[in-house]
Structure 1
């Protein structure tokens, strides 16, 4: 049976061949090699459908060893920290409330072939919602993106982090342990490659958090970080037309994006519920057990942060 994957455009296929080492005639064999390895892992119980697995192959430029490592880490972290990384209920009241506030949106028009996303802290009150609850919304969106968005998988994502309206309360939630878990998950578990991260409308105290998180990132990702005090600086790198209407641009609107994602959450209800069936059993992992606390940290906060 041929691989059960979606056909992509000739342009995307060319990009996948040139930059991701994809050999269309070898996809079936590559998927089979990954599935054979999965069967041999006593501790690992992942999804094994072709569309899901090819996202990891493409995200790892067809390095089987890197794909294996990412799949393992993906499920290891989701099992250990489900409150952050493993949503199972798209009808959860808080999850829907946060989604409707629109802190995370993906925009319809691509920029240089990459998907554009905007993450806004301001619309989500820090005294009402914890950052891991906002992350759960992002996790559902990322999981759907893994399955649906060939442009994001093959060409990557450009993320704009807009801090307008953010408060010290938001910054206080970003503990070193939480930052380490997020960085590890984004770099070592997710097969979606960030092409750039732009921070705009930064607030007092941001630099302290930024300087704490940056060393946790790979050198390659550090080079893709850009800080803009004001929108004018951002627009020099991402033209206004690629931003949503709320920013004065022409790339859809946040309201439209939220409405579209509401429908997607509904249509993936059973798929997300099934996340509870997948994961790792660390007691069955071959070799030495993983010391999560020393790896990802549990202590520390920024309660004494001076944000004046």
Structure 2
């Protein structure tokens, strides 16, 4: 198989390296893919989309392809996730609309660093790093940080090449318990958006430099998390155990690795988002036409009042 970048902009190609042949074999075994199956699945899926009157026709094929891969080529699950994704976009304008790199977004990006690491793990997993850099809680908008995350993740879905699963690293060096609670609540409020509207396969959540207050905050929220998420947390007192687990070749220099620093990776991704502003504008129009959607399917998609937290937890805030 010929490896491709699938990216239109040079910055993205440099920031996300294509998997080597060994990685590619591991990944494709994990998701149950070979060239013949991928080609056949794509023909079926794209033909099905074209036959759906309510589906957008100007979708990005790489983007849709990675929904198929994230569903391990389960065609019905892929269709459902795509339908839910395209249907819910209009219900979340704060996430999917007005995706421009203005000064407010730059400030939040520097306050809360979010980026994928360029190299995959030996098992073909992608590492996504999150770190709060700003101590002043008033200068942090975690909802805007989540918008940045979804912008980055959508760009990653443009990549032709597959990954196995996602591994999140939350660096809590500068985080208080209030930081963590507010961040986790924002994440929890959008968890169903990730679970139902994307084909994301989360393997682990590593919490680095986790002091006791952080562990208590996570423990407080665990009961309302999905079991798979609840059981995926791994705590580290320092970054040394990350090096032992993943190797220095793929980790940032901040962790003693050979990859770029946090600040360099943040600047790289700010530039990538700027280069993709045109694509973001195009994607704003890639939505379900609700007027054409069969009535029996309306109950199968998740709209704003159905996504988020249950019961009184929806109202929980930390001042």
**What range is the shorter-chain TM-score in?**
0.7 to 0.9
Alpha-carbon displacement from aligned partner over 1:65-108 (angstroms, at most 9, x marks no partner): 1111221222233321221x314332332112223446112223
Q: Which runs of 5+ in 1 are unaligned?
A: none
Residue of 105, 118, 130 corresponding to 1:108: 118
The RMSD of aligned alpha carbons is: 3.2
Q: CA deviation at 1:144?
A: 1.1
Residue of 160, 165, 170 corresponding to 1:156: 165
Tell me the secondary structure at the aligned position of residue 277 of structure 1.
Answer: coil
CA distance in 1, matches of 2:257, 2:276: 30
Q: 1:77 to 1:66 in 2, by over 3 A?
A: same
Q: Which moved more, 1:30-39 or 1:278-287?
A: 278-287
Q: CA deviation at 1:194?
A: 2.3
Tell me the secondary structure at the aligned position of residue 134 of structure 2.
Answer: coil
Aligned to 1:237: 245
List aligned pairs for 1:1-308, cutoff 5 A. Answer: 6=6, 10-45=21-56, 47-83=58-94, 85-101=95-111, 103-112=113-122, 113-123=124-134, 125-148=136-159, 150=161, 153-174=162-183, 178-203=186-211, 204=213, 206-213=215-222, 215-219=224-228, 221-240=229-248, 242-282=250-290, 284-287=293-296, 288-289=298-299, 292-297=304-309, 299-303=314-318
The question of whether the paired residues in 1 share the 8 Å contact of 2:112 and 2:133 is answered with: no
How many residue pairs were aligned? 296
The question of whether the paired residues in 1 share the 8 Å contact of 2:113 and 2:262 is answered with: no
Q: Which runs of 5+ in 2 are unaligned?
A: 7-17
TM-score (norm 1): 0.81
CA distance in 1, matches of 2:150, 2:140: 16
TM-score (norm 2): 0.78
Q: CA deviation at 1:258?
A: 2.0
Q: 1:109 to 1:21 in 2, by over 3 A?
A: closer
Q: CA deviation at 1:138?
A: 1.1
